[in-house]
Amino acid sequence: MKRVLIADDSALVRKQLTEIISELGFEIDTARNGAEAVEKATAQQYDVITMDINMPVMDGLSAVDKIMAQRPTPILMISSLTTESANITMEALELGAVDYIAKPGTMNIGKEENRADILQKVKSLSRIPPRRLQKGVRRESGQTGDVRTRRPIREKLKAEPSGNGGEFAKIVLIGASTGGPGLIEQICTALPSNFPYPVCIVQHMPEQFTAAFATRLDRASTLPVVESKSNMELLSGRIYVAKGGTHLHFAKKVSGKVVLREEHNKNNQFFQPSVNEMLMSALKVFRGDQIIAVLLTGIGDDGADGMVAVKKAGAFTIGESEETATVYGMPKEAYERGGVVQQLPFPKIVKALAVLR
């Protein structure tokens, strides 16, 4: 039987999450603070841990750090949709947490869509083998101290993006969901300061999170990283993170310049931003052979149909292989539908992108 540990200082939240997760038939254990969570999680192997951020004795961020160092476990952060919580959640994901859900106190827990989201994520995370988990950049590099200062800010090395009237030799489009933030950061860090193409990223996140995510990526990358905005010109050597709550679309002006557009209509997509929406929109502006599309780890099938469409148009498409994907859902669907030209483990994807010319 699968085992789940719920770590939260709120008795109400522990009760709510226990009632929901119990529907999966999993055995439930609870912890009232981070220290208790670490004690339990290091003494025995859980299949999933849900972790609150603000708790007495030891906060959730410190607990994630200790658990991932001693007994890697799929951790689902419980986060309120605020800018402060978004920043802390980004740090937790860097330390090895896999995903996050909205804190029950900030949403209507009775809504079927919220219950379904919790159940889907807990079920998916329970299938992740511990060997696939990211242990966190800070420990792997041997660094200590606050994760927020683990890298120097490399502003002096940042390249100046260049406009070229929309005439791009290539454009790189990347999609990811559960397990993706850490991988996206590795890609952004690996791209050289003279990278010649624009890069657009759809990572499934709400609006408050994409702004924090783009800011963190910008600190780590030698290329400028920005959150997308309508009418923002697409420039070579710049990385664009799709804004949460809207789809990332492209448009070409009379001058020939390519700009980004925010599409607020969900267009029957479950996720917003959607990888499918970005890929399909790109085909209206770019030739297929200009597109390099990459689909990484994630629950569900977003991006699969888009990968098929751009591949048929002549794009070079790469899907993350099962051996490294935290959740082999989105790239699996793309591969099985015939949308992947090359399937690669993540380290080889990073190398392939870093040497593009």
pLDDT band at 116 (very low <50, low <70, confident <90, very high): confident
Assess whether 173 and 319 both reside in one domain. yes
We report the CATH number of the domain holding residue 63 as 3.40.50.2300
For residues 113 and 174, membership in a common domain is answered with: no
What residues make up the domain containing 42? 3-130
**Residue 45 corresponds to which amino acid?**
Q
- Report pLDDT digits (tens) over 143-181: 333 433 334 444 445 555 655 545 679 999 999 999 999
CB 222 within 8 A of CB 191: yes
CA 191 and chain centroid, separation: 18
* Sequence letter at residue 179: G
Specify whether 193 is catalytic. no
Kindly list the distances between the CA atom of residue 188 and the CA atoms of 207, 253, 269, 326, in Å, as whole numbers in the listed order.
Answer: 20, 28, 27, 19
Look up residue 311 and give its amino acid: K
Q: Is residue 52 annotated as a catalytic residue, yes or no?
A: no
pLDDT averaged over every residue in the chain: 89
Distance of alpha carbon 137 from alpha carbon 210, whole angstroms = 20
In a domain, residue 85? The reply is: yes
Instruction: Compute the average pLDDT of residues 187-214.
Output: 94
The token duo for 252 is 């070409």
The confidence score (pLDDT) of residue 160 equals: 59
Please indicate whether residue 177 is annotated as part of the active site: yes
Q: What is the pLDDT of residue 138?
A: 45
Q: Among 130, 150, 171, which residue terminates a domain?
A: 130
Give the per-residue pLDDT at 279. 98
CATH number of the domain that 304 lies in?
A: 3.40.50.180
pLDDT at 14 over 90: yes
Q: In the chain, pLDDT over 90 holds for what percent of residues?
A: 77
In a domain, 146, yes or no: no
204, 249, 281, 301: which is the annotated catalytic residue? 204
Once rounded to an integer, what is the mean pLDDT over residues 200-211? 93
Say what the pLDDT of residue 140 is.
38
Q: What is the pTM of this model?
A: 0.88
Whether 147 is covered by a domain: the verdict is: no
Report CA-CA distances (Å) from 270 to 20, 245, 273: 21, 11, 9
Q: What would the mean pLDDT of 278-294 be, rounded to a whole number?
A: 97
pLDDT-based confidence at 104, cuts 50/70/90? low
CB distance 278 to 173 below 8 Å: yes
Please say if the pLDDT value at position 48 is more than 70: yes
Q: What does the pLDDT read at residue 174?
A: 98
- How far apart, in Å, are the Cα atoms of 274 and each of 148, 264, 280? 29, 11, 10
Give the C-alpha distances (Å, rounded to integers) separating 117 from 105, 164, 227: 15, 42, 25
Q: What is the pLDDT of residues 61-88, one digit of tens each?
A: 999 999 999 999 999 998 877 778 888 9
Residue that finishes a domain, picked among 111, 130, 149: 130
pLDDT for the residue 152: 43
**Final residue of a domain: which of 130, 153, 171?**
130
Rounded Cα–Cα distance for residues 175 and 242 (Å): 10
Among residues 126, 177, 221, 228, the one annotated as catalytic is 177
- Does 64 map to a domain? yes
- Same structural domain, 174 and 294: yes
Per-residue pLDDT of 243-262, as tens digits, reads: 999 999 999 999 999 999 99
Q: Which residues contact 113 (CB under 8 A, 6 or more apart)?
A: none
pLDDT of residue 146: 41
Give CA–CA dist 18/282, Å, rounded.
Answer: 43
Residue 139 has pLDDT above 60, yes or no: no
Q: What is the pLDDT of residue 151?
A: 43
In a domain, 291, yes or no: yes
Examine the pLDDT at 109 and tell me if it is beyond 60.
Answer: no
Q: Are residues 98 and 207 in the same domain?
A: no
pLDDT at 82: 75
Residue % of the chain over a pLDDT of 70 = 88
Residues 275 and 306: their CA atoms lie apart, in Å, by 7
* Confidence class for position 284, pLDDT limits 50, 70, 90: very high
Q: What is the pLDDT of residue 117?
A: 86
Q: Is the same domain home to 207 and 282?
A: yes
Please state which of the ranges 6-10, 68-72, 134-138, 274-278 shows the lowest mean pLDDT: 134-138
Smallest CA-to-CA distance from 63 within 93, 20, 32, 33 is with: 33
Does 233 lie in the same domain as 284? yes
- What is the predicted pLDDT for the residue at 130? 84
Six-digit token pair at 163?
A: 């406009």
How many structural domains are present in the chain?
Answer: 2
> Minimal CA–CA distance to 352: which of 190, 157, 173, 217?
190
Residues 181, 280, single domain; the answer is yes
